[in-house]
Amino acid sequence: MATIIKKIRLINYKRFLYYTITPNEHINILVGDNEVGKSTVLEAIDLVTSGSIRKVEAIGLDRLLNSDAVKAFKSGERKICNLPHIKIELYLEGNFDFTMNGKNNSDGIPCDGIRMICAPNPDYYSEIADSLTENSDYFPFDFYTIRFSTFADQGYSGYRKKIRSLFIVSESLSSEYATNDFVKRMYSQYTEDNIKERALHKSKYRQLKNNFCLESLQSLNDRIPSSKGYSFGLKSCSVFGLENDLMIYENDIGIDNQGTGKQVFIKTDFALERAGDIVDVILIEEPENHLSHVNLRKLINIIVNTKKGQLFISTHNSLISTRLELKNLQIMHQCSSKNPISLKDLDDETAKYFMKAPVAGIIEYILSSKTILVEGPSEYMLFEKFYKSTANTSPENDGVSIIDIHGLSFKRYLSIAKILGNKVAVITDNDGDMQKNCVDKYTDFQNDTNIKIFYDEDEKIKTYEMVLYENNKELCNQLFGKDPLKYMLNNKTEAAFSLLNNDTNIVVPDYISNAIKWIRK
pLDDT at residue 283 is higher than 80: yes
Task: Classify the C-alpha dihedral 205-211-216-217 as positive or negative.
Answer: positive
Question: How many angstroms separate the CA atoms of 16 and 37, rounded?
Answer: 8
* HEC letters along 393-433: CCCHHHCEEEEECCHHHHHHHHHHHHHHCCEEEEECCCCCC
Cβ contact 113:103 at 8 Å:
no
Q: Strands, E, within 230-309: which ranges?
A: 249-250, 253-254, 281-285
- Across the range 153-169, mean pLDDT stands at 84
pLDDT at residue 171 is higher than 70: no
Question: How many angstroms separate the CA atoms of 246 and 240, rounded?
Answer: 10
Cβ contact 400:371 at 8 Å:
yes
What is the percentage of the chain residues whose pLDDT exceeds 90? 62
pLDDT at residue 111 is higher than 60: yes
Query: Which of the pair, 316 or 272, is modelled with greater confidence?
Result: 316
- What local confidence, expressed as pLDDT, does residue 196 receive? 80
Query: Which of the pair, 152 or 264, is modelled with greater confidence?
Result: 152
pLDDT at residue 81 is higher than 90: yes
pLDDT at residue 172 is higher than 60: no
Question: What SS3 state is found at 374?
Answer: strand
Phi, psi (rounded to 5 degrees) for 238: -65, -25
Least confident interval from 200-204, 346-350, 423-427: 200-204
- Give percent helix, percent strand, percent coil of the chain, each to the nearest 5: 50, 20, 35
- Specify which of 75-89, 206-220, 407-421 reaches the highest per-range mean pLDDT: 75-89
Q: Which residues pair with 403 in a beta bridge?
A: 373
Q: Which residues pair with 279 in a beta bridge?
A: 275
Question: How many angstroms separate the CA atoms of 361 and 118, rounded?
Answer: 41
Question: What SS3 state is found at 279?
Answer: strand
Question: How many angstroms separate the CA atoms of 456 and 329, rounded?
Answer: 36
Question: What SS3 state is found at 37?
Answer: coil
Average pLDDT score, the chain: 89
Q: How confident is the model at residue 259 (pLDDT cuts 50, 70, 90)?
A: confident
Task: Classify the C-alpha dihedral 498-500-504-506 as positive or negative.
Answer: positive
- What local confidence, expressed as pLDDT, does residue 236 receive? 67
Q: How confident is the model at residue 237 (pLDDT cuts 50, 70, 90)?
A: low
Tens digit of each residue's pLDDT (9 = 90 or more) over 317-338: 999 999 999 999 999 987 666 7
- What local confidence, expressed as pLDDT, does residue 455 receive? 96
At a CB cut-off of 8 Å and minimum separation 6, what does 329 contact? 29, 31, 321, 342, 343, 366
Q: How confident is the model at residue 185 (pLDDT cuts 50, 70, 90)?
A: confident
Q: How confident is the model at residue 170 (pLDDT cuts 50, 70, 90)?
A: low
Tens digit of each residue's pLDDT (9 = 90 or more) over 11-27: 999 999 999 999 999 99
- What local confidence, expressed as pLDDT, does residue 2 receive? 82
- Across the range 489-497, mean pLDDT stands at 95
Q: Closest Cα partner for 461 from 512, 413, 422, 386? A: 512
Question: How many angstroms separate the CA atoms of 340 and 419, rounded?
Answer: 12
Tens digit of each residue's pLDDT (9 = 90 or more) over 462-472: 999 999 999 99
Q: Closest Cα partner for 105 from 92, 114, 95, 93? A: 114
Query: Which of the pair, 23 or 159, is modelled with greater confidence?
Result: 23
pLDDT at residue 299 is higher than 90: no
Q: How confident is the model at residue 89 (pLDDT cuts 50, 70, 90)?
A: very high
- What local confidence, expressed as pLDDT, does residue 257 receive? 79
pLDDT at residue 240 is higher than 60: no
Query: Which of the pair, 414 or 158, is modelled with greater confidence?
Result: 414
pLDDT at residue 159 is higher than 80: no
Least confident interval from 125-134, 187-196, 197-206, 468-477: 187-196
Q: How confident is the model at residue 160 (pLDDT cuts 50, 70, 90)?
A: confident
CA atoms within 13 A on the CB side of 356: 7
Q: Which residues pair with 18 in a beta bridge?
A: 11
- What local confidence, expressed as pLDDT, does residue 365 receive? 92
Residue 450, judged by CB atoms within 10 A of its CB (0-12, 13-18, 19+), counts as: middle
- Across the range 64-82, mean pLDDT stands at 93
- Provide the residue count of the chain: 521
- What local confidence, expressed as pLDDT, does residue 276 receive? 65
- What local confidence, expressed as pLDDT, does residue 495 receive? 95
CA distances from 409 to 252, 325, 371, 418, 448 (A): 48, 17, 15, 15, 18
pLDDT at residue 173 is higher than 60: no
- Across the range 280-299, mean pLDDT stands at 87
Question: How many angstroms separate the CA atoms of 31 and 27, rounded?
Answer: 13
- Across the range 94-103, mean pLDDT stands at 93
- What local confidence, expressed as pLDDT, does residue 414 receive? 95
Least confident interval from 281-295, 410-424, 491-505: 281-295
